Amino acid sequence: MKKLDLLEIREQLDGIDREIVVLFEKRMRLSGEVAEFKIETGKPVYDKEREMQKIDSVTGMVDDGFMKQAVSELFTQMMTISRHYQYKLMAEHGLKGEDTFRPVKTIPVTDARVVYQGVEGAYSHAAALQYFGSDKRFYHVVTFEDAMKEVESGRADYAVLPIENSSAGAVIDNYDLLMKYSNYIVAETFLSVDHALLGLPDASPEDLRTVFSHPQALMQCSEFLNDNRNWKQISVENTAAAAKKIIEDGDPSQAAVASETAARLYGLKVLKSSINHNKSNTTRFIILSNKRIYREDAQKVSISFELPHKSGTLYNILSNMIYNGISMIMIESRPIPGRNWEYRFFVDMEGNLSEPSIQNALKGILEEGRNMRVLGNY
Ligand SMILES: O=C(O)C(=O)C[C@]1(C(=O)O)C=C[C@@H](O)C=C1
């Protein structure tokens, strides 16, 4: 192709693009008029039926398979942008997506009753002490679910639950519990976790046959433990329970993976310090309350939603964040019980519930996804 031809074609493209922009602007103005109608009548922004008809009709105008796909993508994008514009107009009219959370200056902790899972000396206990300080009323329960029940019923003001570890990833059971109970995340605290190998005062590493701990702790120390293949690894409900078991059983062939605090608490010997392979091993704990409150200066919004098992649905939902300039910091998916191959997504994004961009994004996700819940702003 000659240089001159290229310039000519580009000139023609420029002319077409100018026309597209003019038409696009006209289309967006009409979309704004639809928004006014929807504000007056209370109709939702997202009209799935209408969008499907639109895609059918515009793809019907072209013959080629590639062009059908291209036209479908183009109009899906245009209608997505059109919806975001409508959400923006609605927010300006004061129709907010999520306004049932109450902002507070600080999370009230005076006389707080705080529940954690496990026993004294467990990492959850350490996280609770780290966040609340030692002068609060702490108590412990056997399972994470028990802790959720204590908060939902109001017997405890707050629960402290691990949600993510920097080397082993999400604590998935607790994501499922967030769905099952009406508790909200009001804060988080990061605990640096350093595991030790603990045995009876007269134990020595050569005699060890069995190691007990929480499955996450065993995973976090897998490089060290797998170098000692003759040790049987057994999971128990938490690291401090493992330490307690060693002292109660009195068997020098048994060891626990737990904190050095647990060693002091239960009178065990540290056979080896810091056996976790990731030396900056950190666990993120969430603080839960049954009140829908958030700190005025909160910076992270956690939500969950479900999507139909269809191509492009996650892409479209996430566009609610992209078009509102919101940065997503975490995404996890969990199977929906009883609905094979359908998933619930957990997303953390930067922002505060009082910001219009967050309100727009939430309104879009609420309308376009299924069962959206705001889990907290902290
Ligand atoms: O027809 C509507 O109800 C509109 O709001 C317009 C429009 C579009 O841009 O075409 C936008 C959002 C709806 O989901 C469907 C279509």
155-187, pLDDT tens digit by residue? 999 999 999 988 888 898 899 999 999 999 999
Residue 293 has pLDDT above 80, yes or no: yes
Does some domain include residue 356?
A: no
Dihedral sign from CA coordinates of 256, 257, 258, 263: positive
User: Does 285 participate in catalysis according to the annotation?
Assistant: yes
pLDDT at residue 51 greater than cutoff 70: yes
Ligand 1: list residues with CB < 6 Å.
Answer: 31, 34, 46-47, 50-51, 54, 79, 82-83, 86
Among 250, 272, 294, give the residue marking a domain's end: 272
Q: How many CB atoms lie within 10 A of CB 296?
A: 12
Catalytic residue among 80, 239, 261, 283: 283
CATH number at residue 56: 1.20.59.10
Q: Which residue has the higher pLDDT, 313 or 348?
A: 348
Is residue 131 assigned to a domain? no
Residue closest by Cα to atom 10 of ligand 1: 79
The enclosing domain of 224 has a CATH number of 3.40.190.10
Provide the CB-side half-sphere exposure for 137 (13 A, CA).
Answer: 8
Average of per-residue pLDDT across 1-11: 83
26-40, 83-97, 116-130, 141-155: least confidently modelled range: 83-97
Which tens digit of pLDDT belongs to each residue from 221-232? 999 999 998 999
101 classed as catalytic: no
Residue 102 lies in a domain: no
Whether 34 maps to a domain, the answer reads yes
**Residue 235 maps to a domain:** yes
Atom of ligand 1 nearest to the CA of 54: 10
- Note down the domain range covering 229: 196-272
Domain boundary among 95, 118, 135: 95
CA distance 102 to 90: 21
| Closest ligand 1 atom, residue 50 Cα | 15
Q: Using pLDDT thresholds of 50, 70 and 90, give the confidence band for residue 299.
A: very high
This model of the complex carries an ipTM of 0.97
Percent of the chain at pLDDT above 90?
Answer: 73
Instruction: Answer whether residue 358 is part of any domain.
Output: no
Contacting residues for 260 by C-beta, under 8 A, at least 6 apart: 194, 196, 270, 273
Which ligand 1 atom sits nearest the alpha carbon of residue 78?
9
Residue 95 pLDDT? 56
What are 28-40's pLDDT values in tens digits?
A: 999 999 999 998 8
Quick check: 99 pLDDT over 60?
A: no
List the end-to-end C-alpha distance of the chain, in Å, as a whole number.
59
Is residue 16 a part of any domain in this protein?
yes
Asked whether residue 253 is assigned to any structural domain, the reply reads yes
* pLDDT tens profile 250-263: 999 999 999 988 99
Domain's final residue, options 272, 299, 318: 272
Number of independent structural domains in the chain: 2
Q: Of 212, 285, 305, 346, which one is the catalytic site residue?
A: 285
The two structure tokens encoding residue 290: 């049954």
